[in-house]
């Protein structure tokens, strides 16, 4: 069973690591301070990412990715239409699209005379707007392996991924949960628009779910609340994040992940994903859980991305985290994302 | 407005009101009621003064009932798709049209078809009339002029009320898909 680390334990090891990283990179990142200021990037972020890339040149390339370099993608709603049919409809309106190389029901919009979200095809639920990396999270879960199973979406938000789960498993029972009621109303609308009939949507804290669903879920999606640092190329999502901001996210992520694993039956799977490239919020969170649980394994993923990071400052990260996948704006042309698939082994 | 913790909410699986709504609207559109019933189950969420009707896959009703015994019924936001509301009257929602599209059923009566320009106008929440309407298939008497509003391809884009006066036809906009953008959530 999972034995949670104490908050102090989390803070102490991460803080010690951060002090080391700061010491190591502070002067090297000096020449990037000006760029960082214009991009609303905090010095703490500069040093953390310098340590991640182990190179200030790559850090600069990462910081300078423009949002125009990120693919603009839409997800075809295969419950209502096919990709070729949608392509024809869009092209008759002058919207140019190409196949998305990482997902067969994704499309890249290369030009459009209209805002994509105002097209009638959008209102008719034939597609939804979804980032190119975000679209790979549900395929990592492989909901189709549980066609009639119980799938819990712990942080469902507006349900972009919930409706995608339904495309993979339209007869499953999806339980979608979030603490933000307004976002769940958007989920309700999205499910209506996209004709998704297999979701029950409940306003609650996902950390409470094990009191009822312990060991009862076949699959769990934990699209965790995070720093959002993977969205750095988008000016609207930029804001400076101190190391303390990251710490507060990590504490919540650990609690949510612990709850998520408690929900799984033996043999069940959980995908942990964040739109963040921070090692603290990803490999560190996963390592902490693996340390405390002897019946959880990380599984290989057949989605694109670089392997999870095993070396980051002084942190001792579990070598199995290399099975996670990281998508980078300056390498993959996607928003930044980290995706890990965990399985509860049979006893 | 989030519901208060004390608000009385009743979740009822397979309720009579939902059956009545499905039957009435299916009758207005001339669509196969048996096929609709085969495809989904219905549940009602009853609150003071109105009943919301949801269509969902089989087993989801049981799932919701069990779950809500623990977290509290007022915490339920939706189950499947919201297809209608009953507040003394039977009001079909946009979700009813999604149900028709998901199953692949087209109305046989109780619809109007609009031109491309008419659809644009309608999706801004406006009423349409005259040359914007390319076809009219009247509903039965008891439907009080309720029609599904279709685009040129025959896909439903909203609900309207048909108002006829001598040779003048107007479709009053009851709800249209543009609401998804205008609703602000
Ligand atoms: C990354 S967003 C989810 C996006 C969503 N999965 C989608 O694809 O549209 C993280 C979500 O976690 C929710 N959240 C934060 N703390 C939570 C908790 N304790 N329980 C449930 N949801 C939580 C936030 O409200 C937010 O909607």
Domain boundary among B77, B103, B129: B103
Q: Let me know if residue B62 belongs to a domain.
A: yes
- B97 and B119 fall within a common domain: no
For chain B, what is the domain count?
2
A2 has a pLDDT exceeding 60: no
Q: Let me know if residue B160 belongs to a domain.
A: yes
Q: How many CA atoms lie within 13 A of A199 on its CB side?
A: 35
- Closest Cα to atom 15 of ligand 1: A225
Return the biggest CA–CA distance within chain B: 58
Instruction: Kindly give the distance from the C-alpha atom of residue A153 to the centroid of ligand 1, in angstroms, as a whole number.
Output: 9
Q: Is the CB of A157 under 6 A from ligand 1?
A: yes
A201 and B56 within 8 Å at the Cβ level: the answer is no
Q: What tens digit of pLDDT does each residue of A116-158 get?
A: 999 999 999 999 999 999 999 999 999 999 999 999 999 999 9
With the C-alpha atoms ordered B106, B112, B118, B121, is the resulting torsion angle positive or negative? negative
Instruction: Kindly give the distance from the C-alpha atom of residue B48 to the centroid of ligand 1, in angstroms, as a whole number.
Output: 30
Q: Is the CB of A133 under 6 A from ligand 1?
A: no
- B87 and B155 fall within a common domain: no
Q: Is the CB of A129 under 6 A from ligand 1?
A: no
Assign B167 a pLDDT band (cuts: 50, 70, 90): confident
| CATH code for the domain of B178 | 2.30.130.10
A198 and B56 within 8 Å at the Cβ level: the answer is yes
Residue-number span of the structural domain to which B144 is assigned = 111-182
Rounded to a whole number of angstroms, the distance from the CA of A198 to the nearest CA of chain B is: 5
Known catalytic membership, residue A275: yes
Q: Let me know if residue B3 belongs to a domain.
A: no
Whether A186 and A203 have beta carbons less than 8 Å apart is answered as no
Q: Let me know if residue B4 belongs to a domain.
A: no
B137 touches chain A (CB under 8 A): no
Domain boundary among B103, B138, B170: B103
Please state, in angstroms and rounded to a whole number, the distance separating the CA atoms of residues A224 and A200. Answer: 19
Assign A7 a pLDDT band (cuts: 50, 70, 90): low
Cα separations (Å) of A282 from A162, A184, A224, A309, A314?
21, 25, 10, 9, 16
CATH of the domain spanning A134-344, picked from 3.40.1160.10, 3.40.50.1970, 3.40.50.150, 3.40.50.1580: 3.40.50.150
Q: What tens digit of pLDDT does each residue of A239-285 get?
A: 899 999 999 999 999 999 999 999 999 999 999 999 999 999 999 99
- CATH 3.30.70.1170, chain A: domain bounds: 72-129
Whether A276 and A338 have beta carbons less than 8 Å apart is answered as yes
Domain boundary among B82, B103, B124: B103
ipTM given for this complex: 0.95
Which one of B80, B82, B101 has the shortest CB-CB distance to A198? Answer: B80
Please state, in angstroms and rounded to a whole number, the distance separating the CA atoms of residues A201 and A181. Answer: 10
pTM of model > 0.90: yes
Q: Looking at the structure, give the CATH architecture of the domain made up of residues A72-129.
A: 2-Layer Sandwich (3.30)
Counts of helices then strands in chain A (DSSP H, E): 13, 15
């Amino acid at each position: 069973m999972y034995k949670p680390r104490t908050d102090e334990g989390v803070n102490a090891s991460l803080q010690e690591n951060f002090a080391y990283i700061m010491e190591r990179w502070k002067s090297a990142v000096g020449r990037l301070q000006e760029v960082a200021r214009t991009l609303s990037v905090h010095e703490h972020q500069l040093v953390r990412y310098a340590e991640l890339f182990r190179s200030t040149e790559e850090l600069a390339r990462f910081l300078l990715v423009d949002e125009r370099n990120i693919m603009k993608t839409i997800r075809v709603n295969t419950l209502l239409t096919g990709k070729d049919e949608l392509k024809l409809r869009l092209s008759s309106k002058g919207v140019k699209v190409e196949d998305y190389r990482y997902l067969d029901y994704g499309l890249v919009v290369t030009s459009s005379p209209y805002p994509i979200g105002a097209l009638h095809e959008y209102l008719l639920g034939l597609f939804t707007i979804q980032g190119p990396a975000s679209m790979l999270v549900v395929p990592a879960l492989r909901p189709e392996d549980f066609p009639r199973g119980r799938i819990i979406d712990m942080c469902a938000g507006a349900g972009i991924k919930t409706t995608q789960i339904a495309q993979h498993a339209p007869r499953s029972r999806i339980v979608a949960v979030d603490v933000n009621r307004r976002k769940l109303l958007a989920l309700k609308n999205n499910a209506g628009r996209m004709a998704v009939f297999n979701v029950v949507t409940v306003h609650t804290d996902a950390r409470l779910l094990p009191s009822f669903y312990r060991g009862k879920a076949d699959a769990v999606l934990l699209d965790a609340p995070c720093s959002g640092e993977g969205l750095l190329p988008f000016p609207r999502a930029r804001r400076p994040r101190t190391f303390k901001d990251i710490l507060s996210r990590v504490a919540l992520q650990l609690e949510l992940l612990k709850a998520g694993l408690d929900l799984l039956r033996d043999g069940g799977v959980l995908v942990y994903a964040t739109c963040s490239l921070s090692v603290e919020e990803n490999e560190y969170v996963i390592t902490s859980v693996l340390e405390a649980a002897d019946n959880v394994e990380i599984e290989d993923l057949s989605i694109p991305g670089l392997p999870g990071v095993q070396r980051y400052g002084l942190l001792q990260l579990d070598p199995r985290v290399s099975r996670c996948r990281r998508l980078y704006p300056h390498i993959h042309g996607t928003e930044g994302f980290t995706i890990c698939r965990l399985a509860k082994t049979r006893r | 407005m989030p519901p208060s913790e004390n608000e009385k909410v009743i979740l009822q699986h397979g309720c009579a009101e939902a059956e009545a709504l499905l039957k009435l609207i299916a009758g207005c559109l001339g669509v196969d009621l048996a096929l609709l019933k085969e495809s989904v189950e219905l549940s009602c969420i009853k609150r003071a003064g109105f009943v919301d009707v949801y269509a969902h896959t089989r087993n989801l009703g049981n799932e919701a009932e069990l779950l809500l015994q623990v977290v509290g019924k007022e915490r339920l936001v939706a189950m499947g798709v919201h297809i209608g509301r009953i507040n003394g009257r039977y009001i079909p929602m946009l979700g009813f049209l999604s149900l028709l599209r998901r199953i692949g059923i087209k109305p046989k009566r109780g619809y109007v078809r609009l031109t491309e320009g008419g659809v644009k106008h309608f999706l801004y929440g406006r009423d349409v009339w005259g040359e914007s309407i390319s076809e009219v298939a009247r509903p039965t008497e008891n439907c009080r002029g309720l029609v599904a509003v279709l685009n040129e391809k025959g896909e439903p884009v909203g609900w309207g009320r048909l108002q006829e006066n001598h040779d003048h036809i107007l479709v009053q906009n009851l709800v249209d898909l543009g609401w998804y953008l205008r609703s602000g959530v």
